[in-house]
Amino acid sequence: MSTDIATTALDQDGTGRSPGRRTSTRSLAVLGALLLLLAAVALSLAIGSRSLALSTVVHALLHDDGSTAGSVIWDVRVPRTLAGIAAGAALGVAGALIQALTRNPLADPGLLGINAGAATGVVLSLTVLGLTSLWVSVWFAMAGAVIAGLLAYSLASGGRGGATPERLALGGAVIAAVFTGASQTLMLLDAQVLDQLRFWSVGSLARADSATLTAITPFIGTGLLLALALVRPLNALALGDDAARALGAHLDRTRFLGLLAVTLLCGAATAAVGPLVFVGLAVPHMARMIVGADQRWTLPLSMLLAPALLLFADVLGRVVVRPDELDAGVVTAVVGAPVFIALVRHRRTVSA
């Protein structure tokens, strides 16, 4: 048997539409998400404490003439926008992966303790070693994320039955509590570090620069490729462990590789923009409502919708309190939470 059977099963949406029509609808949804992301990118490049016309943005991108507008775009807004795309895609895909691995629609990238591990690595590099370079922070964040992910998987895989979804969630909760407590203690012991980290801990794109992008791109690229390679076994897992085994899926290998992908994605994104928690929770919900549970469509759509959401939040944060700005993490929480509640209520109404 093949995991293609699982993909076929998940592809049945009960609407009576032909497979070709479902594929066309889903393709249009992905195209729409891509256009939405392009619009978010355009706004991110044009809007800030000093708004620029789109024609000025295009001219500066094509002809870097050393003007003030060109410097603002290339030195500040382009790195910030690219960091938003990379981190958003990472968090969206990581959220979809975790919800698939744990079969829990309310799971997010923080559930397995990986965000907490990454944050602890950053705090440790600042408090104990006194290292302030963002490049160094990325590596410490990745180390913390890897350690947290391995510990969570070890706790979940011990005993009979291996790393079941329930054990992954419980193991991750324990690791998250331990690492969160450790990072909070270190921050409270050093007032200077606490002041440096208070904006980062909320989640912000403001500190992103070319060095940030250089540091996180390999990790996020590897994580995204690994996630996309797991779409078929993840579809099998959605049918339950027994059915997945019958279809030839390797459960432990799929969960380990999925956790590795989540670790790479969350560690890099957390190091770059802070522990944004809402994006990875809400976006996979939106994606499944639009294209269904098939991971062949859910993962790519999450990869496009999440950075669009993050960039729109960042742009909104730049304009609502001018000349100051709100961090993207604040905006996603304040604006996104009511939207997420509405989505859940709509889903319950449809199910009833």
- For the stretch 328-349, pLDDT in tens is 888 888 877 776 677 666 655 5
- State how far the Cα of 322 lies from the Cα of 320, in Å rounded to an integer: 6
- Model confidence band, residue 190 (pLDDT cutoffs 50, 70, 90): confident
- Predicted pLDDT of residue 349: 52
Residue carrying the six token digits 């270190």:
186
- For the stretch 191-247, pLDDT in tens is 777 766 766 677 888 878 888 888 889 999 999 999 999 998 888 887 777 777 777
Question: What pTM was computed for the model?
Answer: 0.85
- State how far the Cα of 335 lies from the Cα of 313, in Å rounded to an integer: 8
Which phi and psi (to 5°) does residue 205 adopt? -95, 0
What share of the chain has pLDDT > 90, as a percent?
A: 24
- Model confidence band, residue 161 (pLDDT cutoffs 50, 70, 90): low
Show Cβ contacts of residue 348 under 8 Å, excluding neighbours closer than 6 positions: none
A 10 A CB-CB count for 68 gives: 9
Cα 272 versus chain centre, distance: 12
- State how far the Cα of 173 lies from the Cα of 19, in Å rounded to an integer: 40
Cα 43 versus chain centre, distance: 21
Examine residue 323 and say whether the peptide bond preceding it is cis (omega within 30 degrees of 0): yes
- For the stretch 245-283, pLDDT in tens is 777 777 778 888 988 898 899 888 888 888 787 888 889
Average pLDDT for the chain: 81
- Model confidence band, residue 160 (pLDDT cutoffs 50, 70, 90): low
- pLDDT above 60 for 12: no
- Model confidence band, residue 116 (pLDDT cutoffs 50, 70, 90): confident
Hey, what domains does the chain have and what are their CATH numbers? 4-351 (1.10.3470.10)
Three-state DSSP class for residue 103: coil
Residue 281 in tokens: 């929770």
Of 25, 179, 31, the C-alpha closest to 112 is 179
- State how far the Cα of 72 lies from the Cα of 181, in Å rounded to an integer: 39
C-alpha distances out from residue 18 to 8, 9, 21, 147, Å? 13, 14, 5, 46
- Alpha-carbon dihedral 339, 340, 345, 349, rounded to 10 degrees: 90
